[in-house]
């Protein structure tokens, strides 16, 4: 029922139709402070019960008007739990929502055929910032260069609240431009698309690792870090989506409930054969890689979203770990 605005404005969902299994969507409207980017870039929504009216003391408008403003298509009165079970069984697939081809199935199929597959699709350059910008206190003790592949605002909030001044760079920024700012560390953000279709990001990350400065990656950034270390990635059958995914921290032995949103994953066999990278976290449902770190450099990453928004806060210690790495590396 809650958290839909944060999901709809997460750039990682660019070009995707969001299916929510919770019964009610739209009840509390939208709020200007509950966004993860400037505007939603999703392709559409599928819900069970949609509320065109909302009840909230400090709400800024209805979800209905919000979707209309950003020209996002939606469909309601769908058995979304049945739909999700179908996707889980047969795998993630392209889809179309339309009111223009009633009774013309061939026309719908023709439109659907125009939609590219996510495999090999590079989307980060479409959703990342076009100009560098700053976030946080310029007098903060540490500076971090954030490579924006589709960064969520709550990541920047979590860094800033820990004494970090962030400078956010477009996805295709060179190391030379970032290094000129003399950051204490580098952050590789989340984002949409296939990491294997981003050789520019992989090459830049290799150069970043050569500086021996601390590196932290989340989601797509995690996959890019792995690719930079010679670890392959692949598209999952149906991905991990939701706010209740269990993972285990192999370094502490503790389990955490995490927020996840990814359709690609790091190849576990490659990591286990690597002399450079080791697994730090695993997904408890399917034993896929949920976190890695480099054995000889101050660099680590996770497949999930420790900043949550929405979701549990079990893994926010990772931001503290990153800050500690920077202090120890001074």
Q: What is the CATH number of the domain that holds 200?
A: 3.40.50.880
For residues 64 and 274, what is the distance between their CA atoms, to the nearest angstrom? Answer: 50
**Parallel, antiparallel, or unpaired: how do β-strands 215-218 and 185-188 relate?**
parallel
Binding residues: 12, 191, 193, 220, 223, 261, 263-264
Whether residue 179 is contained in a domain is answered as: yes
Together in a domain, 229 and 286: yes
CB-neighbour burial class of residue 269 (10 A; exposed 0-12, middle 13-18, buried 19+): exposed
With beta carbons less than 8 A apart as the criterion, state whether 169 and 197 touch: no
Q: What is the pLDDT of residues 136-187, one digit of tens each?
A: 999 999 999 999 999 999 999 999 999 999 999 999 999 999 999 999 999 9
- Binding-site residues for L-glutamine, in ranges, read 12, 191, 193, 220, 223, 261, 263-264
Task: Report helix angle 199-210 to 220-228, nearest 10.
Answer: 70
Over residues 77-96, the mean pLDDT reads 95
Where a domain ends, among 74, 90, 112? 112
Predicted pLDDT at 101: 75
Residue 101 lies in a domain: yes
Q: Is 151 inside any structural domain?
A: yes
Q: Are residues 148 and 216 in the same domain?
A: yes
ω into residue 245 within 30 of 0, thus cis?
no
User: Which has the closest alpha carbon to 118: 20, 235, 19, 17?
Assistant: 235
Site of tokens 């997904």: 283
Contact 175, 208 (CB under 8 A): yes
Q: Residue 11 is encoded by which pair of tokens?
A: 């750039």
Domain that holds residue 11: 4-112
* C-alpha torsion sign, points 171, 173, 174, 180: negative
Residue 14 has pLDDT above 90, yes or no: yes
On whether residue 51 sits in a domain, the answer given is yes
In this prediction, residue 105 has a pLDDT band, given cuts at 50, 70 and 90, of: confident
Q: Which pLDDT score is estimated for 1? A: 66
pTM of the model: 0.94
Tell me which of 146, 219, 222, 227 is the catalytic residue. Answer: 219
Say whether 146 is catalytic. Answer: no
One domain, residues 31 and 53: yes
- Shared domain check, 209 and 74: no
Catalytic site residue from 240, 245, 281, 305: 305
Claim to verify: residue 304 and residue 324 sit in the same structural domain: yes
Active site residue 219: yes
Q: Is residue 249 part of a domain?
A: yes
- What's the rounded Cα separation, in Å, for the pair 136 and 165? 5
- Residues 269-327 pLDDT 10s: 999 999 999 999 999 999 999 999 999 999 999 999 999 988 889 999 999 999 999 99
CATH number of the domain enclosing 94? 3.50.30.20
Give residue 2's pLDDT band: very low, low, confident or very high (50, 70, 90). Answer: confident
Find residue 216's DSSP bridge partners: 187, 300
Single residue among 51, 82, 112 that ends a domain in this structure: 112
Does some domain include residue 117? no
> Which residues are bridge partners to 188 per DSSP?
147, 217
Query: Do 46 and 104 fall within a single domain?
Result: yes
Task: Count up the domains in the chain and report the number.
Answer: 2
Choose the catalytic residue: 6, 122, 227, 307: 307
- 100: confidence class by pLDDT, cuts 50, 70, 90: confident
Verify that 149 and 98 share a domain, yes or no.
Answer: no
Q: Is the pLDDT of residue 118 over 80?
A: yes
Interatomic CA distance for residues 235 and 254, integer angstroms: 28
CB 283 within 8 A of CB 271: no
Q: Which of 58, 87, 112 is the last residue of a domain?
A: 112
The answer on 139 and 217 residing in a single domain is yes
Does residue 54 carry a pLDDT above 70?
Answer: yes
Grade residue 232 by pLDDT with cuts at 50, 70 and 90. very high
> Do 300 and 291 touch, CB atoms closer than 8 A?
yes
What percent of the chain is modeled with pLDDT above 90? 88
Residue 201 has a pLDDT of 98
Based on the domain organization, do 158 and 29 belong to the same domain?
Answer: no
Residue 74 shares a structural domain with residue 164? no
220/191 Cα distance (integer angstroms): 6
Asked if 6 and 310 touch (Cβ cutoff 8 Å), the reply is yes
How high does pLDDT run on average in the chain? 95
Distance CA 268, CA 248 (A): 15
| Residues 286 and 204 grouped into a single domain | yes
Residue 190 covered by a domain: yes
* Whether 213 and 160 share a structural domain: yes
C-alpha–C-alpha distance, residues 261 and 10, integer Å: 10
């Amino acid at each position: 029922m809650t958290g839909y605005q944060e999901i709809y404005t997460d750039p990682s969902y660019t070009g995707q139709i969001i299916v929510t299994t919770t019964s009610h969507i739209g009840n509390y409207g939208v709020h200007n402070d509950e966004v993860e980017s400037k505007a939603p870039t999703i392709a559409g929504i599928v819900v069970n019960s949609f509320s065109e009216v909302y009840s909230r003391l400090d709400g800024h408008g209805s979800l209905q008007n919000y979707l209309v403003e950003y020209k996002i298509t939606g469909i309601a009165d769908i058995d979304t739990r049945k739909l999700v079970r179908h996707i889980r069984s047969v795998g993630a697939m392209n889809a179309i929502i339309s009111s223009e081809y009633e009774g013309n199935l061939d026309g719908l199929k023709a439109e659907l055929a125009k939609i590219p597959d996510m495999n090999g699709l590079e989307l980060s350059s479409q959703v990342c910032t076009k100009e560098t910008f700053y976030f946080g206190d310029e007098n903060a003790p540490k500076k971090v260069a954030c490579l924006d592949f589709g960064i969520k605002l709550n990541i920047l909030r979590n860094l800033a609240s820990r004494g970090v001044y962030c400078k956010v760079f477009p996805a295709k920024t060179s190391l030379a431009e970032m290094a000129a700012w003399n950051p204490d560390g580098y952050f590789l953000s989340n984002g949409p698309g296939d990491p294997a279709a981003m050789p520019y990001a992989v090459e830049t990350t290799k150069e970043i690792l050569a500086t021996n400065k601390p590196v932290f990656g989340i989601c797509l950034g995690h996959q890019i870090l792995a690719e930079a270390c010679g670890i392959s990635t692949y598209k999952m059958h149906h991905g991990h989506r939701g706010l209740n995914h269990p993972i285990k921290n192999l370094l502490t032995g503790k389990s955490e409930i995490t927020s996840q949103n990814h359709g690609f994953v790091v190849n576990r066999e490659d990591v286990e054969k690597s002399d450079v990278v080791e697994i730090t976290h695993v997904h408890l449902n399917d034993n896929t890689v949920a976190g890695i770190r480099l054995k000889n450099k101050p660099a680590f990453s996770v497949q999930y979203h420790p900043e949550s928004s929405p979701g549990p806060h079990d893994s926010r210690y990772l931001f503290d770990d990153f800050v500690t790495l920077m202090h120890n590396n001074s």
